Chain A
Amino acid sequence: MIGARAIPLPWVLVAPGLWCVAAFIVLPIVSVGAYSFWTRLPSGEVQTVFTLGNWREFFTDPFYVAVLWSTLKLSTATTIICALVGYPPAYALSLIGPRWKGLLVVMLFLPSWISYVVRTMSWLHVLGKNGLVNSLLLGAGVVGEPLPLLYNDMSVVMGLVHYLLPLMILNVYIGLQSVDRNVVDAARTLGATDWQAFLAVTFPWSLPGLSAGCLLCFILSAGTYVTPLVLGGPGTSYYAALIYESVIPQADWPLGAALALVFIFVLAMILVAYGRLVGMGHMFQGIK
């Protein structure tokens, strides 16, 4: 075929990949959009009849917006904690000589290779009534009764931080690699203290890595379903659970589709606002 021969080689090579993205990611998001305007009959069947009912349900019942808001708050808290806790070790790793660096880096990322559900359940053993922390506290006589550490928002954030911290450290570490040590040394020679050199040279240069890490942590924690399910309590409300509940157990696909579309829209808005704030180039540096 003449037509087939005319396609340049690079396009032939990327075509299957692009086709996958179009068919398995873009098209599904479009069909989520379509479903959100369709009617669910009382029998549970979905009819392709236009309705705004699913959207009316979302906007008139304050419950949905409240859960969305609490999800965004918990994800923001997780992201901030990851940034604060992750920066110092990343900085320490960037200072260390090549001899120990390999081992220390591998040890830090070891847990991130381990199954997500296993890492999440490990916190049951740490924070539970008979868990590590309570056993130590009871054994030392600090408390008389086990503390209720599990099944609340704090244990959810703890599990999320444990899950996402390696990602944050990796991004900050990559950002710190781009810092020119000569400029830091120059600043020191010119009379800056360690702190001044850090604040004037190292920190600004590491910001792209830090902002990429924050973005990834935020998106991943906002979309999490399993961590709140395992570690959350009766008061924990997480948006992904609403989507799951309406799509799988209740089989109300139009409502689930509307919930999912709101979520895509909110995340996209946050992405755009964040991109304006820190610069698009910075955001994707970490991913690459």
Chain B
Amino acid sequence: MTAAGPSLGARASSGLLWLFTGLVYVFMLAPVFVIVLLAFNPPEFGSFPITGMTLKWFWALADNRPIIEAIKTSLLLGLASSTISTVIGTAAAYALARFRFVGRDIVQLLLTLPILVPHIILGVGLLLAFRLIGMSKSFTLLVIGHVAITLPFVVLTTQHRLQAIPSSLEEAARTLGANRFETFREITLPLTLPAIFAGFLFAFMMSFDELTATLFWRPANVETVPTHVLGMLQYSVNQEINALATALIVVSVALPLGGMLIARRVALGGRAKQPAAVEKPA
């Protein structure tokens, strides 16, 4: 084979690579499309064949008290736990990204390793620890547990973003007489707001989606959205679930996309206020 262009074999293997990749996309996306498609189907049983198109299952969601309650619980739980883990996690991420100190590697490992602990273990462990000090299942237990689960991800996400911001800007502020807190408030915080926001959004989505450990921690009468969906699945797959699932799909796709756009906006806005001299050459 002395031809200059790609050989027949190379082109065939490249074609196979893209064909396979396309099939993986179908595998990943098709089940999601099936749910959305079925949610518009008029018959009450949530399965094929498709016989028409209706929005009635979505309207029915608004009148479904248990679902509304579950959404409220999940929102409250998500907001509470991700706010706490964003505050705690951002402080730790700032220290890890900006300081060299004795024991830093150990701290990094300790704050990261919980990612590898399965949620079923976290679920049993925290429940039993609570029992040990004589406390029973409660909303507090849920919030604490969700903080423990989301914290490592907030630390990693925020630290990763912080490391991408040049520390020369902070050094300049310090040289010009700002103390460490002023530097943080005036320079670091505005620059890192997108990073903090990303950490918060990530934590919120994880909390909203958490199921396995939540099954251990929730009090008997409390349902989050995932536990409620699981409970409904035990009976049958009906159109209520399909409509709720479709609503969740739309929100969980729109939320991060919106978050990305807002983060980009904030980043661009912040940059526009800076003097042109610090603008990095493209």
Contact = CB atoms under 8 A, between A and B. Distances in A.
Interface of A: 8-11, 13-14, 16-18, 20-21, 24-25, 27-29, 31-32, 34-35, 85-86, 88-89, 91-93, 107-108, 110-111, 113-119, 121-126, 128, 130-132, 135, 162, 165-166, 193-195, 215, 219-220, 222-226, 229-230, 240, 243-244, 247-248, 253, 256-257, 260, 263-264, 267, 271, 284, 287-288
A35 to B, nearest CB: 5
Interface of B: 10, 13, 17-18, 20-21, 24-25, 27-32, 34-35, 38, 45-49, 88-89, 91-92, 94-96, 99, 101, 104, 107, 110-112, 114-122, 124-129, 131-132, 144-145, 147-148, 151, 155-156, 160, 180, 205, 208-209, 211-212, 215-216, 225-226, 229-230, 233, 237, 241, 245, 248-249, 252-253, 255-256
A24 B88 CA distance: 14
B35 A271 contact: no
Contacts of A34: 132
Nearest to B160: A288
B119 to A, nearest CB: 6
A16 B91 contact: yes
Nearest to A283: B116
B249 A118 contact: yes
B142 to A, nearest CB: 12
B47 A131 contact: yes
A13 B92 contact: yes
B95 A14 contact: yes
Given A92-B17, A114-B249, A224 B212 contact: yes
B211 A116 contact: yes
B31 A25 contact: no
A158 to B, nearest CB: 9
A130 B28 contact: no
A31 B129 contact: yes
A267 B91 contact: no
Given A34-B132, A122-B32, A135-B48, A114 B120 contact: no
Contacts of A110: 28-29, 32, 253
Contacts of A124: 233, 237
A271 B118 CA distance: 13
